[in-house]
Structure 1
Amino acid sequence: MSLPSTHQTAIIGAGVMGETLLSGLVRAGRRVDTLLVGEKRAERAAELEERYGVTVLGNVAAAKAADTVALVVKPQDMGELLAEIAPVLRPGQLLVSLAAGITTAYIEARVPADVAVVRVMPNTPALVDEGMAAISPGSHCGDADLAEAEALMGSCGKVLRVPEKQMDAVTAISGSGPAYVFYVVESMIEAGVHLGLPRATASELVVQTVLGSAVMLRETGTHPAVLREQVTSPAGTTAAALRELEIHKVRAAFLAAMEAARDRSRELAAQD
């Protein structure tokens, strides 16, 4: 998406995800003189200015100067932040919220009318430019606003537009999803050690296997069940292993886990 050379983007919240977004935008070619960061801690501000060459301001000053404002704060801090910056927001600005469980309606009720809001559910692989972000428009959001949100999040991964009613499910799948993968990887490594492998060997075997499997899924477009069957010889080692997973109801456990994550996301939204 081509933006005017004067278009200013502010990132409020300079934690891990905020810096991930900032570094992704810089790597994607955004001019640093069009990027602002809202950060109150002087030491952190100096660190970001030195590392990226961006201007770091207070939250209010950054929100006032920007055309697009990315809100990268914890859900429990969103109400306080909106109360702080709302007086300087203006119609035509775009707010992009990365806070889990915070609805566009919650934000729209606390900012001036005709401020566009886009809700985003990112995930941590954005740290290595392999993120999966889902975005949903608010009631005052146009195509240009969605395109700008896509460009923001596309700097560090893939972006998918979804209806906001699906965001709780998205949170359960891709938002929390990396933790499930890390849990499986951790379990496989521990199993390898139990079976007699050195931990470093087990780690390398598991990580590359997971990476290679993910690339196969993406590159071939083949259904995972088909790929699984290609590995599974009748009465072979893989079949024996999969039988144990079925006996222990691992598939059902994943469903229950993701339902729990979805329900918790709904609870967070209900606290608005």
Structure 2
Amino acid sequence: MADHSIRNKVVLIAGGAKNLGGLIARDLAAKGAKAVVIHYNSASSRADAEAKVAAVQAAGAWAVALQADLTSATAVERLFADAVAAVGRPDIAINTVGKVLKKPLLEISEAEYDEMSAVNSKAAFFFLKEAGRHVNDNGKIVTLVTSLLGAFTPFYSSYAGTKAPVEHFTRAAAKEFGARGISVTAVGPGPMDTPFFYGQEGVDAVAYHKTAAALSPFSPSGLTHIEDVVPFIRHLVSDGWWITGQTILINGGYTTK
């Protein structure tokens, strides 16, 4: 039977420099991963990526930071090639990359739409493609989406709309890679207590989101915390391997499908 533990596994995390990706990197290293590749998008995230490398190494794993703008297929190909050259073929590939835009549909420009599509859909598609090429047999692939995929709400058309295709990409990849024992899932957190959330929301919206989940009264902020999500990621890339082709919303009862 295949080994589905995290111990001695090679992990690649797109967007692993900060917030949820950074905590996933530290968590999997602490659980015995052999090596963690921490991807970051641009020079502005380099210091965060280097700090995560130090944290992962302190936890006992080998670590390397690699920069790439994943909105081109060539860049995604290079990221995987560089990762393999640095630490070997990954057993676990996790894509946490995303971009939020909260704006009325009538005000979204073509340039804004193109950017949202490139970050949330195109990058996710080619990450799955390269993961399918490079992840070892019996590996695990996870893409972060959003709980807004289960919402009926205004103003997030370009965000939820460009994350929605990842559900279909995930199902197709799960079917196509399943013969090699690879599980493929998507995880949609609720509004998270990170700078990624607050940068797009006004005071009234923040107040609403902090009370919108069924379990909000039991959360320190009323929102989803990255610590709430990481245990599910850890499960999906280890003992939870039998879950594949699914989109799982982790949000304390904020929304459902």
> Could you state the TM-score of these two structures normalised by the residue count of structure 1?
0.42
From the CA coordinates, give the structure whose radius of gyration is larger: 1
Determine which structure has the larger helix proportion and give its number: 1
TM-score by length of 2: 0.44
